[in-house]
Structure 1
Amino acid sequence: MSTIPDENQQQLEPDFSVTISTTPSSEPPYSIFDQRQKWLVIVIVSTAATFSGLASNIYFPALPTIATDMNVSLELIDLTVTSYLIFQGLAPSLWGPVSDVKGRRVAYAFTFIVFLGACIGLAEAKNYATLIVLRCLQSTGSASTIAIGSGVIGDITTRAERGGFMGIFQAGLLVPVAIGPVIGGALAGTLGWRAIFWLPVIYSGVFLIALLILLPETLRSVVANGSRVPSRLIARYPLNIYNKTTKVKWDPENAPPSTPKKRIDLTGPFRILVSKHAAPIIVFLAIYYAVWQMSITAMSSLFKNRYGLTEIQIGLTFIANGVGSMVGTLITGKILDLDYRKVKAKFEAQSAVNVEARTEAPQNLEQEDFPLEKARLRLVPIFSVLQCLSLILFGWTIQYSVHIAVPIISTFITGWTVVSMQSVIMTYLVDIYHEKSAAASASINLARCLFAAGGTSFVMPLIDAVGVGVTFTICAAVQLVALSGPLIQWRFAAAWRKEAEQHETQGQVSSSKA
């Protein structure tokens, strides 16, 4: 019998084992949450993830107005976008590891309290210094919702279904990309720019209460597959209700064994970021995300100066980008699941043939490993090329003031492709870092936001120096070079992962003997 490496060392995912025998398994279910309960959890964490995008995108149409009101240059206001992105990258490196050890609900509660306080302060900000400091704090509170949400999805879903659920999650967190600028433009143009911070105050306060009432603890080291109800009240409720109402058949006497307590590892996301079997694909995504953010940041000023749009009209121009992002990730999530099943079926068939061959000549064949890179990353080059073409179209059509519909359509394509790649790569990393899924998501967030912070800080000076067309042609060229990252991942990552797993196993054996 040939099996794919375990997704949870205590228990195999039922749909991710290659079994030649048809003997029934007495293994407990990977998760006791039934389908409707999973959907409720996905809706909650997807809604939680909207706060990061909302706080970021609701802000863009108001940039010129805030600069005028505070009597500072637009370049200084652009730095509040840069600082937001820096802390958006750093904060999950704290909250991700905390949620991987202390629990998802604890991490969610603290992040929303920080976000709520920062929004109240921003709504009352009287000067530029207060604005930039509180934007950093706002980012610290909101950014980690994505990393924690990815961890929750990793807790309750198997690899075969994870792509679709991750697509739903990505679509949820991208709703603000579509509607955030519209809301921001409308509020700034009618009630004033301070209203763009009072809205998240109300939204986050109501949602925090709903989250504490409805979201169960899912961290597998605390609740296993959901069948182990801990004594702590914050983790116990409402998990005990989910246990009583689930339609999944499970035996309380056959619950997975307890796992050793883990320490909070704040360096975990950084180690993932520099590991050779993750770094190529993470850096690749960070470059594409940074260029996307550069184009979004420049849109407000470019459309106002080149086409003479108002704040409300500028907000409307962001809809295409947001709709492309949402539609793209929903479709990509379904394709990911189909791709996975197709590769898995082919692998199982080949494994069965090899088992028979080993019976006759075992010395000639080696045990095979599941080709996870092939199952997950096949679409990346296609999305990459499409994004490069859309960026070139965006830059040169604005350069020559072509009808505004053309650059807007290009933002639809850019949003579709970059977010689809993000969904693919995030699903892949949650697959390979199943026990540190929030930390893996935090590592992606760290890289992409730091790259984006650097890109957004010089995009307008670069446009002023060489023009819009040349700027985004340079960006497209850099992206094509970065495509070497997925090629390296495809060719070498499987062997590197196996080497890392063997090294970790040897280290654990040595520690136990000591």
Structure 2
Amino acid sequence: MVMVGSFASFFSPLSSSIYFPALDSIAVALHRSTSDIDLTITTYLIMQGIAPMLIAGFSDKAGRRPAYIICFTIYLAANLGLSLQNSYAALMVLRCLQSAGSSGTVALANGLVGDMISASERGAYIAFASVGSMLGPSLSPIIGGLISQYLDWHWIFWFLLIFSGTFFAFLLLLLPETCRKVVGDGSIPPPPLNMSLTDFIRHRRRKRNGIVPNPEKLAELRKNYTLRIPSPLPTLRICLDLETGAVLMTTGLMFACFYAVMTGATTSFHNIYHFNNIQTALMYLPIGGGGIVSAFTTGRIVDWNYRRNAKRAGFPILKNVRQDITNFNIEKARLQVALPTYYLSVVTVIAYGWVVGRNVNLAAPIILLFLAGWGLQATSQVLNALMVDLWPDRSAAATAANNLFRCELGAAASAAISPMSAAMGDGWAYTTLGLIAVAASPSLWLIINKGINWRQRRYQKQQKKASENRK
């Protein structure tokens, strides 16, 4: 189920990155400058940060399946419009709509992990959930390069329409509802709108075997079940938390470096190495390859470090049981892994800027892109796991908050990297972004020491408020 959610989240970065090799071709076709077409990337990223704020809080209350239905309906409609349009204004508007539909699926993938996986195993499963979001940057430029090289660029969006429509039919039939506020631990049958074919078969079989849901639990969940208009407030409340805000800011600045590399790579390899669309697309493979390797290695390190810290603290590890980690320093267990990978990411991005601007042997940027992909994905993976740990009952909203900072700062970096490189050169442009990220990193060291106290105070306030509401 986690892998299905991961594959669903593949469409957000796929739709963003598939576009990169065709930027120059689209600019010529629409009689616009490359800078104008670059703005469609910026607006895509802005919407990619805002849209999950609406859908994540909705999914934490109404369930994952209705949220997936909303996301894919919008996404399919946008792809159909993009396939048929020939105007810059339509391209801009429909790309925003495409981003709004696809970006919510990233938060939903981590929501599935939060629903089903305990903290002691969360590192590995967050890795599986993030495979889709890392495959996008590595595979989609190749697909886009092939399509734009041999077919009309409109076929990029026809491809997305056919591919996503086929996958959505599969998800609609088979992915069960997992939201704990709708199905509890899975023993409560979901409402009709949330029910998949697998849910129907499983609960019918349980009923035939004489296994009935707890009536009190069923009544409680149905009482709180609501299909409200999506609101950004649950996500904004998470952003205002002191500890969470520090994590979000550092994550966002790190991804600003990532998006700057991704956006600037097309122009760099076209102008410096004189590559065509397909050759440029292949240069995205190293960063994606590093991310995929990280997805299958970092999770094991994260879970090992969790067990090591738990053993030292005398904290029991119960498999497949959601434990109360109020008095366990989960921040330390996660950030001991995240900080080294954070600094590795920054160093490799700065080195890449100096190397690519000097027209050196192609092996150098390839190696640095691979290391950057590994470090960026490893850091993202650990910090995503920490966000779910901090907000276990609002895991989708927590991921949406993460996505907001990541995409908005990434949008700013992707818009700024071209004029920065033109004004000061690639080396100093990427160095400036890297140093800004380093300047924010002391907040992570502070969280290691103070985070548990901040989290405990927040939990106490939440419990006090819940107690007052019951009265």
Q: Which amino acid aligns with 1:226?
A: G
Q: Which residue of 1 aligns with 2:137?
A: 177
Matching of residue 193 in structure 1 with residue 193 in structure 2 = no
CA positional deviation for 1:173: 2.2
| Structure 2 contact 78–98 (Cα < 8 Å) conserved | yes
> 1 CA distance for matches of 2:21 and 2:149?
9
* Match in the other structure for 2:68: 108
**Residue correspondence of structure 1 range 330-341 to structure 2 within 5 A:** 330-341=296-307
Question: Structure 1: how far apart are the matches of 2:99 and 2:82?
Answer: 12
Report the number of matched residues: 456
SS at match of 1:226: coil
Q: Which one of 236, 239, 245 corresponds to residue 279 of structure 1? A: 245
Deviation at 1:262, TM superposition (A): 6.1
Task: Return the offset for 1:475.
Answer: 1.5
User: What amino acid is the match of 2:385?
Assistant: T
For 2:210 and 2:199, how far apart are their aligned partners in 1?
15
The reply on whether 1:141 has 2:101 as its aligned counterpart is yes
Q: 1:486 to 1:245 in 2, by over 3 A?
A: farther
Match of residue 61, structure 1, among 5, 10, 21: 21
Of residues 235-244 and 337-346 in structure 1, the stretch that sits farther from structure 2 once superposed is 235-244
Secondary structure of 2:224's counterpart equals: coil
Q: 2:285 aligns with which of 309, 319, 327?
A: 319
| Cα distance, 1:415 vs structure 2 | 1.1
SS in structure 1 at match of 2:379? helix
Higher helix share: 2
CA shift for structure 1 position 372? 0.6
SS in 2 for 1:379: helix
Question: Residues of 2 paired with 1:508 and 1:217: CA distance?
Answer: 26
Alpha-carbon distance between aligned partners in 2 of 1:242 and 1:484, rounded to the nearest angstrom: 49
> Which residue number in structure 1 is paired with residue 236 of structure 2?
270
Conservation of the 8 A alpha-carbon contact between 1:224 and 1:256: no
**Do the aligned residues in 1 keep the contact of 2:173 with 2:196 (CA within 8 Å)?**
no
What residue number does 1:14 align with?
none
Question: 1:153 corresponds to which residue?
Answer: 113
> Deviations for 1:227-284, whole angstroms, at most 9, x for unmatched residues?
00034253264223345789xx997566883345166553111111121020111100
1:347 Cα deviation from its structure 2 partner: 2.0
1:46 maps onto 2:12 in alignment: no
Q: Which runs of 5+ in 1 are unaligned?
A: 1-40, 352-366
Give the C-alpha shift of residue 72 in structure 1. Answer: 0.7
Distance 1:253 1:75 in 2: 58
Asked if 2 retains the 8 angstrom alpha-carbon contact of 1:99 and 1:107, the reply is yes
Query: Residue deviations 1:200-235, cap 9 Å, x none?
Result: 100111111100111001111110011000342532
Instruction: Tell me the distance in 1 between the aligned counterparts of 2:211 and 2:253.
Output: 48
Are the equivalent residues in 1 in contact too, given 2:175–2:196 (CA < 8 A)? Answer: no
For 1:470, the aligned partner's letter is W
Q: Provide the residue aligned with 1:12 in structure 2.
A: none
RMSD over aligned Cα, in angstroms? 2.1
Where do 5+ consecutive residues of structure 2 fail to align?
A: 318-324
Q: Is the 8 A contact 1:80 1:135 kept in 2?
A: yes
Q: Which has the larger radius of gyration?
A: 1
Change (3 A) 1:256 1:146: farther
Paired-residue identity, %: 33
Q: For residue 393 of structure 1, what is the aligned residue in structure 2?
A: 351
Query: What amino acid does structure 2 have at the position aligned with 1:70?
Result: L
Look up the match of 1:382.
340
- Sort the Cα spacing of 1:457 and 1:87 in 2 relative to 1 into closer, same or farther, 3 A: same
The residue matched to 1:377 in structure 2 has which SS? helix
Distance (whole Å) between structure 2 residues aligned to residue 408 and residue 195 of structure 1: 29
8 Å CA contact 2:350, 2:430 repeated in 1: yes
| Per-residue CA distance 1:104-139 (angstroms, 9 max, x = gap) | 111101110110111111112211111010000000
Deviation per CA, 1:75-98: give whole Å up to 9, x if none: 111100000000000000011111
1:28 counterpart residue number: none
Match of 2:312 among 343, 346, 358: 346
The answer to whether 1:98 aligns with 2:58 is yes
Change (3 A) 1:129 1:342: same
Equivalent residue runs for 1:108-507 within 5 Å: 108-235=68-195, 237-243=197-203, 252=212, 257=217, 258-259=220-221, 261=224, 266-348=232-314, 369-507=327-465
Instruction: Spell out, residue by residue over 1:119-161, the C-alpha distance to the aligned partner (whole angstroms, 9 max, x if none).
Output: 1111122111110100000000000001011111111111112
Query: Which is worse superposed, 129-138 or 265-274?
Result: 265-274
Structure 1 residues 350 and 120 mapped into 2: Cα distance closer, same or farther (>3 Å)?
A: closer
Residue 455 of structure 1: CA displacement?
Answer: 1.0
Is the contact made by 2:177 and 2:190 (CA closer than 8 Å) also made in structure 1? Answer: no
SS of alignment partner, residue 192 of structure 1: coil
Kept in 1, the 8 Å contact 2:326–2:455? The answer is no
Provide the secondary structure at the position in 1 that maps to 2:178: coil
Cα distance in 2 for residues equivalent to 1:223 and 1:324: 37
**1:383–1:417 contact (8 Å) kept in structure 2:** yes
Matches within 5 A, 1:4-15: none
